[in-house]
Structure 1
Amino acid sequence: MALLQNIKPHTKSVTAIGVKKTCKEYVITTASADSLVRVYTLPLTLDGEVTEVQTLDFSPQMMEAVAIAGGSEEVDGEVLIALAGVDTRVHVYGKKEKGGTFERLRRLKSHKNWIQALSFHEASPTSFFLASGSQDATIHTWKFSLQKDSSTVGGASSSTVHGGAKVELTEEEVLAAALDSMTFAFSSVSGRFQWHSHLVEIQQDAALIGHEARVTGLAWVPEGDDVLLLSTSMDRAMFLWQQQEGGAWDPQLRIGEMGGSTGNIAGFIGCSVTSEEKGRHLLAYSHNGAFHLWRKEAGSSSTLYQPLTVTGGHFKEVTSLAWHQSGEYFASVSKDQTARIFGCWKAQSAWVEIARPQVHGYDLQDCAFVPNCGNRLVSAAEEKTMRVFDAPKTYYERCHGVMGMEVPSLEGDLPITANVPPLGLSNKAVLGGQWEEEQNREKGSLDEGRDSVVPVGDFSTPFSDPPVEEDLVQRTLWPEMQKLYAHGNDVFSIAVSPSGEWLASAAKATSSAQAAVRFWMEDKDGYRHAAVAPAVHDLTVTSLSFSSDSRFCLATGRDRSFSIYSPSSLGRGKAEVKVVVTKAKAHKRIIWAGDFLSLPAEEEGTEGEEKKGSGVMRIVTVSRDSTVKIWDVQVQSGETSEVASLNVGDAVTAVGSLKCAPGVFAIGKEKGGVTLCKYTKARGIETLTELPQHGRAVKKVRFSPSSSASLAVVATCSDDHSVLLSSVSL
C-alpha cells in the first residue's frame, strides 16, 4: 500500500468520504465540519493528480454522510451523489446535462433528526436503493428507478421536479410500525427529476424501526438474488435486515452487545461487510478505537456468526510504554485512559492485544513492569497516586495459549480475573468461587438483586486465540494490589530498577519542593515509601531511568538540568538517597529525556573499582533545543563533562538505549522521526539508520530486553495514537 496523494482541502474535520469507480474515472466526495462538500476526480490508472471539480456550500449546516451511485456505461459514466446531515434531509445531486455542473436535483425529507449514515445499492444500472440512518433511531429506504425516455418531464410533472419528497410519519404510525415486524412499508411515488438523459422516479420504500439509539452506519449485503441491509447503532447492536414479501423488512439477526456491563464500549459508529470464499465478514468500529469482526462460514445455512480477533490499539495519544523483562510482550498507556498489553500471536506471527489491565477514569501518563516479580505492573495517571497490578490466572493461560510461553504453576489463591464493583473505582480480584458465581449469575440462575461485582461471564474466544474487544473491555482487567500515595500533584514519570528493588516517581511541579523525586522500596506486600531525594530540580522532572546495575537513577527536568541519584537501604523500610551529580543548564531548552549508555569493555572499570564506587558513567540527554548530548560522569567525584553533541534539526522528545550494545541508542523527535544512533570516542555520535516514523511527536523509545548486539527490537509510541515495532540489524 502506498500513499498516492495527500489532500488537505478542508479547514475543519472531515465528516464523511465517498468514493465511486465509474467507467471513466474515480469520483471522490468529501464532507466537512466547515460546511463544504468537495467533489474530486482521479484517473482510473491512479497515476494522475486528484482534481477538484466542484465545491458545494451548505453553510451554516454541515453534511455528515455521503453516498455515490451510477457511473456505468448505461448512464454515460455520470453519478448521483446523496448528501445528508444536520438539516434532517437527504440532498440528491447530479448533472442535468452532459458536461454540466452538479446541481441539487431532489431533497428528501422523512427523518425527525440528524442523518448520519447513507448507503447506495445498485440492483441494476437503472435501479438504485438508498438507505438513510438517523439520530431518530430509524432507517429509511428509497428506490430510484431510471428511464431513458425523458419526454414525460415537464408539463403536469414540472411541479414535482422542484418540489421536496416529504413523507411525514405520525406518532401513531411510528408506534404501529414498531409493533408490526419493526418496519413500515410505503408504495407512493415521492417525486421525479431529470438527471442527464434519464428520468428518475423516487419511491420511499420502507421505514425500519428496531434500534434503540442513533443509527451510525449502513452497508448493503448481496445475498444471491436477494439483498440484505447491515446497520449499526450507538445501542451497541448490529442488525442484518432482510426484505420480506410485501416490502417489509425484518431483522434476520442481531449481534453485538446485548446488555450487561459494557465497560467503555460506547456503541458502534460505522460498519462494513465482505462476502469472500472463506465466508462473510461483518465489521463494526466503535468510539474507543476498536474494530469488531464476525464471520459466517462459506456455504453455511446457519445464521451464527463467530467473533474474530482484530488488530487494535489506542484511540488517543500514547504517553508511555514498558517491556516485560522476558521481551515477549509490552504494556502501553494512553490518554484514552487505558493500559494495554501487546504480545506476539505465534500462530499468526502478528502482534495483538492480549489484555487491558486497567480502564481508568484519568488519562494515564507512565507505566513500568516490576522485574523478578512475575507479572506486576505499575501505572501512573493524572492523579496523585500510583497503582500496582498483578496478573490474574486467566492472563497466564492466555500467554501460554497465544504466545506459547511457559507459565508457573497456577494452583493456589491466584485470582481468576478482576472486576470493578458497581460504585467502585478500583479493580477487585475475582477468586475461583466468585468466578463460578458470576457465571451463574450472568445466566440468570441467582438472585438478580444480590450486591456483588459486575458479572464477567465466559470468554468469547478460547485461550489459544487473542481476546476480542468485548473480552478485553470486560474480562481482562488485572487486580489492583496496592495504591502508592505521597505526591501532592499529579504523577508525571516513574521508573523501576532492573533488580525490582527500587521505584522512583516524580510529579508535575512549579517549585523545587514539588519537583522532588521520591523513592519506594520493595517489600513483601509491594512497595513502601522509603525516601525523598534532596531538592535539585525547580520544575517538573520529565523522565526517570535506572542504570543496569540498579545503583543509580537519572532524572531530567523542564528546568534544563539533569541529576543522578544513588539510593541505598537503611533497613526497616527506610532508605538514603544521595545526589551523585547535578548539571544545571545542560541544554538551552527543556530536557525531555535521558538514559544510561553501556560502556565498551575497554572503558569499564575493574571489579575492584566498581566495588569502591569509582569508574565512569555515560549518559545521553535529548532536548527541545534539537540537540543530543553525551556526558561522562565520574562516579566518585561527580565531575561531569560533555563529550559529544549533535543537532538533529528537530526537537528531540524521547531516547532509549540498547543495554547489550555499547553506545547504541535511538531518539524520537517532535515531528515523528525515529533515528538509531551510536556513540564512540573515535567518531562521536553517528546516525546508523532511520526507523519507521510516526505522524506526531514520539513520547517513548524502548528496546526489547530480548534484543541482541546484532539484532534489536525497538518499540516507540507517539501522540499520533500509535505504537510502532521495528526490527533492525546492527
Structure 2
Amino acid sequence: MTQLTAEYLTAGANRHPSAADWDTSGLLAFGADRNVALWQPQNTRSQGLLALLSGHTDTVNAVKFIPESSRILVSGSVDKTLRVWKEDPTSGLYTCIQTLSDHQSSVNCVAVSSRSSRIFASGAADATVKIWELDDQNVAALQQSISIVPRFFPLALALSPLAGAPESYVLAVAGTKDIIQIYVKDSEKSPDFKLQATLSGHEGWIRSLEFTQESFRPDSDLILSSASQDKYIRLWRIHQGKELPAAAASADPSLGAFMPGKSLSNRAHRFKAEGLDFSATFEALLLGHEDWIYSTKWKAVGNKLQLLSASADNSLAIWEPDSTTGVWVTVARMGEISAEKGSTTATGSTGGFWTGLWSPSGETVVCLGRTGSWRLWNHNMDEDRWVQGVGISGHTQAVTGIAWSKEGEYLLSTSSDQTTRLHAKWKREDLSSWHEMARPQIHGYDLNCIDSLGSSQFVSGADEKLMRVFNKPRAVASLLAKLCGFSDSHIESMPDAANMPVLGLSNKAIEAVDDDQEVVNGNNNDREAIDPASIVHKSTLNLDHPPLEDHLSRHTLWPETEKLYGHGYEISCLAASHDGSLIATACKASSIDHAVIRLFETQTWHEVKPPLTAHSLTVTRLRFSPDDRYLLSVGRDRQWAVFSRDEKDRNQYKLATSNPKGHTRMILDAAWAPTETRVFATAGRDKVVNVWGVEDGGGEVNFVLKTKIAAEHPVTAIDFATAPMADGKVYLATGTEVGRVRVYCINVKESFEAVELDSSFQSTYSFPTKAITQLAWRPTSKEGGDEVELAIASEDSSLRIFSIAPSS
C-alpha cells in the first residue's frame, strides 16, 4: 500500500466579507476559489490548511457553521448552489451531504442563529432570501422564499430568536441599498417571516449585519450591528415591552452633529410576536474608520460586549461601551498605520481587510487581507495588548509555475495574482511545518513561468515579453539559515534587502540601516529625498518565526539583476539548464516567426544567436535533459523537437530530430527520465501520455514510441522523479485538466510497462478542482530513496506538496 501524506496545502482566501467562519471547536473554514478550506489557527504546530473541500463549481462566497450541531457546515457559491457538509466523527473529514439549487443567481450570504437552532437563511443576487430548516437527519428543506421589495441584492443577513419569545425569530436583511429590512416570524400566527420594519440612516451599501444579546439574561434586548460603505457602524436595539428603551426615549439632538447634512433618526419601529410588544430603535453610531467597513463580529467578554470591525482602511478595531458614559469607543486597533502603508499598492498594503473573526475563546482574532492571507493576533493578558502571530497565506489566482531550488531546499511558485512566493520548511526542536518564507517578486503583470538558477537565483517570465532574473538578498538568506537550516556560502556578498520604487516594476537592492541611525534626506529641494517606506532597519530583518504578511510583502523582495529581451509576445515557458549556464525561453505565437526558442547564457546575459526554430505555434514546454546534452520542446502544433548541444561551443544547440505528429492534439507538457538511456515523455490534449526512447542501434537521437498511457481527460502536466529507484524503475506523475493526479512506475530498461501506484491518489478530498498547471518532484541525490515529495500547482489557486512512500 502506497502511503500518501499531505505535507503542505496552501490556497488564498476569497475576498468576500461572508467567506469565512470560526467554529466553537476551533476550526476555521473559508472559501478558497471554488473550494472550502479548513484551518486550525490556534494549532500549536502552526501547520497550514488541514484540507480543501471540493464540490462547488464556482467561487465560494459564504461559509457558515451551524452552531451546537453535530458539525454541520453550509457554503454558498457563485454557482447558485448551497452545499451542506457534515463531519465524519471517526475520520474528522467533512463530506457534502446535500446540494441545494433553489437560487437563480450567485449566493452572497448565509445567516445562522447564534443559539442552537435548525433554521438558516441564504441571500442571493436573484434578490431573494430563502429560509431553510434542517431535520433530525441534517437534511435541509426550503421553508420560505422572500422576494425583496424594493428590489436590491442582499449582501448581509442576520438571524436570531426573539428575546422573551424564543419560538419566534427576527431576520435582518441588507445589501445594495442603504436600508435594513427587519422580518419577523411570529410562531403563534404564521410559519412565515413578514416584513415589520425598515431601518434607515446609512448612506451606502451595507456589508455586514450581526445580532447579539445584550447580556446573558434570556429576556435581555437584542443588539444589531450594521457596517456600511459610508464608513460608519450603526447599532440598533430590539427591545421587548411597550415602553421605549432609555436611549430612544431621550433622543439627544446633538448626536446629529456627527453626520453632516443628516440628523440621526430615532424613530421607533413597533411589532408584535407571540402576543408581546417589541420595538426596533437606533442605539449608537460608531465613528473611527476611514474607509468602507466590510464586517462586524460580536463577542461577550464577562458582562461586557465587544465588537470587532474590519475595514478597507487596513485596520481591525475592537469597540466596547465606556463603563461610565456608555459611549462606544475603540479599545484596540490592529493592522497598518497610515505612515507604514508602503510606497506602492503592489506590496499588498492597500485593499483593506475583508473580514475579521473572533476565536471561540475571544483570545485570538484573525483577519483576511487583499493578498488572500490571514493575519492573526493573540491577546497577551499580562500586558493587555494584542500580539501578532503566524498566520497562513496562499495565492489568490491560478498557480502558473513552480520550481524547486536546484538542491531541493525550497519551492518557488508564480501565479496570475502577479506574485512569486518562496515556500520552505520551518524546523524547530521536534516540530516542522511548511510556510511562505519570502515573496521575492510582486509584479504588475500576470506571471506565467519560473525556473531556479542554483540556490540563490531564479528567472521568471510574465505577460510582458521579457524575463527577469532575481538574486537572493542577505535578509532572506539569513532567515532561511536560521529557520530552515540552509547554509549559504555567498551570504557576505549579498545586498541586505530590496524594495520596489514608487513607479517601477524592478526591485532595487538596498542597504539596511542600524536602528539608531538617522537617515538624512537629500538636498534642500528634496530632489534626492528618500522614500521613507524604502528604509529598512536591521532589527526588522531579524526574525525567529516565519515572516508575517506585512513583512512578506515589504521586506522579503529579491533584488532584480537582469532583464532578458527578445520576444515579441507574452512569455509562455522557460527552462534553466541543470548547470545553470543557459536559459531557454519561448513566447506565445501564431506564426513560425515568433514560435522560436531563444537561448540566453548566464555569464554575460547575452542572447545566443541564432534562435532555435522547429515549431509553428506556441511552444508550451521546454526541458533540458539531466546532463544538459539535449533540449526538448513541445508545442501547440502537436510537434516535439529535440536539440543537441554542440560539443565545441557549449552555448549552441542545433535541431537533432523532431516528430511533427507526436500527438493528435496539441502537446501541453514534456519531461526527461533520470536515466542514462535517453527517455522522455510527452502529454497532450488527446488524453494520452507518450513515452519515447532511443531505438536500438538507431543512434542517440532517433527516438521511437515505447509505450502509451491512456488518461480519462486531457493531460496538462507531467514530471519524472529526479532519481531512479533502487531497481532502476522511475516514477512518472501525470496531472489532468480536471485536477486528477496519478503516479506511474515505469521500467525504462526493459519492457516500458507503466504500473499505476494504487488508487489512494484518487481522493477528491485531497486533489485540485481545476486543471493541474505543473508538477515538480523535489530533487533528490540519493538513489532508491524510500520517500519522495511531489509539488502540485493548479488553476484553483492551490499549491500542494505530498510525500509518497511506496510499498516494497
TM-score by length of 2: 0.78
8 Å Cα contact 1:221/1:229 also seen in 2: yes
In the alignment, structure 1 residue 146 sits paired with structure 2 residue 237: no
Stretches of structure 1 lacking an aligned partner (at least 5 in a row): 158-165, 178-183, 605-615
In the alignment, structure 1 residue 627 sits paired with structure 2 residue 719: no
Structure 2 residue corresponding to 1:199, chosen from 254, 273, 277: 277
In the alignment, structure 1 residue 688 sits paired with structure 2 residue 748: no
In the alignment, structure 1 residue 236 sits paired with structure 2 residue 314: yes
Per the TM alignment, residue 447 of structure 1 is displaced from its structure 2 partner at its CA by 11
In the alignment, structure 1 residue 132 sits paired with structure 2 residue 229: no
In the alignment, structure 1 residue 32 sits paired with structure 2 residue 124: yes
Q: Deviations over 1:362-381 (max 9, x none)?
A: 0000011102xx41011111
Structure 2 residue corresponding to 1:399, chosen from 477, 480, 498: 480
Structure 2 CA distance for aligned equivalents of residues 77 and 437 of structure 1: 62
Structure 1 CA distance for aligned equivalents of residues 287 and 108 of structure 2: 25
Residues 139 and 682 (structure 1), Cα distance of their counterparts in 2 relative to 1, 3 Å cut:
same
Per the TM alignment, residue 398 of structure 1 is displaced from its structure 2 partner at its CA by 0.9
Within 5 Å, which residues of 2 pair with 1:147-296?
A: 147=241, 172-174=257-259, 188=266, 190-244=268-322, 245-259=324-338, 260-262=340-342, 263-265=347-349, 266-274=351-359, 276=361, 280-296=363-379
What secondary structure does 1:7 align onto? strand
In structure 2, the partner of 1:584 is 660
Give me the identity figure in percent.
27
Structure 2 CA distance for aligned equivalents of residues 97 and 377 of structure 1: 66
Per the TM alignment, residue 205 of structure 1 is displaced from its structure 2 partner at its CA by 0.8
In structure 1, the partner of 2:141 is 51
8 Å Cα contact 1:110/1:167 also seen in 2: no
Residues 170 and 507 (structure 1), Cα distance of their counterparts in 2 relative to 1, 3 Å cut:
farther
In the alignment, structure 1 residue 429 sits paired with structure 2 residue 527: no
Structure 1 residue corresponding to 2:414, chosen from 318, 333, 344: 333
8 Å Cα contact 2:707/2:752 also seen in 1: no
Structure 2 CA distance for aligned equivalents of residues 169 and 30 of structure 1: 39
In structure 2, the partner of 1:486 is 566
Structure 2 CA distance for aligned equivalents of residues 658 and 368 of structure 1: 17
8 Å Cα contact 2:582/2:651 also seen in 1: no
Per the TM alignment, residue 449 of structure 1 is displaced from its structure 2 partner at its CA by 8.0
Per the TM alignment, residue 80 of structure 1 is displaced from its structure 2 partner at its CA by 2.1
In structure 2, the partner of 1:345 is 426
8 Å Cα contact 2:668/2:685 also seen in 1: yes
Structure 2 CA distance for aligned equivalents of residues 620 and 282 of structure 1: 49
Per the TM alignment, residue 212 of structure 1 is displaced from its structure 2 partner at its CA by 0.8
What secondary structure does 1:388 align onto? strand
Amino acid at match of 1:724: R
Structure 2 CA distance for aligned equivalents of residues 216 and 455 of structure 1: 30
TM-score by length of 1: 0.86
Structure 2 CA distance for aligned equivalents of residues 480 and 439 of structure 1: 26
Residues 726 and 264 (structure 1), Cα distance of their counterparts in 2 relative to 1, 3 Å cut:
same
Q: CA RMSD in A?
A: 3.0
Per the TM alignment, residue 170 of structure 1 is displaced from its structure 2 partner at its CA by 9.4
8 Å Cα contact 2:235/2:283 also seen in 1: yes
Residues 697 and 110 (structure 1), Cα distance of their counterparts in 2 relative to 1, 3 Å cut:
same
In structure 2, the partner of 1:300 is 382
Structure 2 residue corresponding to 1:390, chosen from 471, 482, 504: 471
In structure 2, the partner of 1:715 is 791
Per the TM alignment, residue 640 of structure 1 is displaced from its structure 2 partner at its CA by 2.6
Residues 655 and 320 (structure 1), Cα distance of their counterparts in 2 relative to 1, 3 Å cut:
same
Structure 2 CA distance for aligned equivalents of residues 665 and 584 of structure 1: 24
Per the TM alignment, residue 460 of structure 1 is displaced from its structure 2 partner at its CA by 6.2
Structure 2 CA distance for aligned equivalents of residues 309 and 442 of structure 1: 34
Stretches of structure 2 lacking an aligned partner (at least 5 in a row): 1-92, 245-250
Per the TM alignment, residue 431 of structure 1 is displaced from its structure 2 partner at its CA by 2.0
8 Å Cα contact 1:460/1:468 also seen in 2: no
In structure 1, the partner of 2:802 is 726
What secondary structure does 1:379 align onto? strand
Amino acid at match of 2:709: L
8 Å Cα contact 2:207/2:293 also seen in 1: yes
Q: Deviations over 1:370-396 (max 9, x none)?
A: 02xx41011111111100000101101
Per the TM alignment, residue 88 of structure 1 is displaced from its structure 2 partner at its CA by 1.0
Higher RCO by CA contacts (8 Å cutoff, separation 6 or greater): 2
Structure 2 residue corresponding to 1:324, chosen from 386, 405, 413: 405
8 Å Cα contact 1:632/1:640 also seen in 2: yes
Residues 170 and 141 (structure 1), Cα distance of their counterparts in 2 relative to 1, 3 Å cut:
closer
Per the TM alignment, residue 237 of structure 1 is displaced from its structure 2 partner at its CA by 1.1
Structure 2 CA distance for aligned equivalents of residues 310 and 554 of structure 1: 41
Structure 2 CA distance for aligned equivalents of residues 620 and 704 of structure 1: 18
Structure 2 CA distance for aligned equivalents of residues 220 and 447 of structure 1: 51
8 Å Cα contact 1:185/1:206 also seen in 2: no
Per the TM alignment, residue 528 of structure 1 is displaced from its structure 2 partner at its CA by 2.4
Per the TM alignment, residue 585 of structure 1 is displaced from its structure 2 partner at its CA by 2.0
Amino acid at match of 2:508: K
Structure 2 residue corresponding to 1:566, chosen from 612, 636, 644: 644
What secondary structure does 2:491 align onto? coil
- Give the number of equivalent residue pairs: 675
Residues 582 and 301 (structure 1), Cα distance of their counterparts in 2 relative to 1, 3 Å cut:
same
Amino acid at match of 1:670: E
Residues 205 and 695 (structure 1), Cα distance of their counterparts in 2 relative to 1, 3 Å cut:
same
Structure 1 CA distance for aligned equivalents of residues 282 and 520 of structure 2: 43
In structure 1, the partner of 2:192 is 101
Residues 312 and 536 (structure 1), Cα distance of their counterparts in 2 relative to 1, 3 Å cut:
same
In structure 1, the partner of 2:107 is 14
Structure 2 CA distance for aligned equivalents of residues 487 and 495 of structure 1: 15
Per the TM alignment, residue 515 of structure 1 is displaced from its structure 2 partner at its CA by 0.8
What secondary structure does 1:721 align onto? coil
Amino acid at match of 1:593: D
Structure 1 residue corresponding to 2:179, chosen from 89, 100, 104: 89
Residues 113 and 440 (structure 1), Cα distance of their counterparts in 2 relative to 1, 3 Å cut:
farther
In the alignment, structure 1 residue 354 sits paired with structure 2 residue 437: yes
In the alignment, structure 1 residue 518 sits paired with structure 2 residue 586: no
Residues 75 and 667 (structure 1), Cα distance of their counterparts in 2 relative to 1, 3 Å cut:
farther
Structure 1 CA distance for aligned equivalents of residues 372 and 574 of structure 2: 27
In the alignment, structure 1 residue 701 sits paired with structure 2 residue 775: yes
8 Å Cα contact 1:22/1:77 also seen in 2: no
What secondary structure does 1:253 align onto? strand
Structure 1 CA distance for aligned equivalents of residues 282 and 541 of structure 2: 42
In the alignment, structure 1 residue 466 sits paired with structure 2 residue 550: no
Q: Deviations over 1:485-508 (max 9, x none)?
A: 111111110111111122110100
What secondary structure does 2:506 align onto? coil
8 Å Cα contact 2:723/2:730 also seen in 1: no
8 Å Cα contact 2:233/2:286 also seen in 1: yes
What secondary structure does 1:3 align onto? strand
8 Å Cα contact 2:462/2:571 also seen in 1: yes
Q: Deviations over 1:667-712 (max 9, x none)?
A: 1111111111122343622211453310111100000114854211
Residues 314 and 134 (structure 1), Cα distance of their counterparts in 2 relative to 1, 3 Å cut:
same
Amino acid at match of 1:14: V
Residues 629 and 198 (structure 1), Cα distance of their counterparts in 2 relative to 1, 3 Å cut:
farther
Structure 1 CA distance for aligned equivalents of residues 710 and 410 of structure 2: 33
Amino acid at match of 2:568: G
Bigger mean CA offset, 312-321 vs 30-39:
30-39
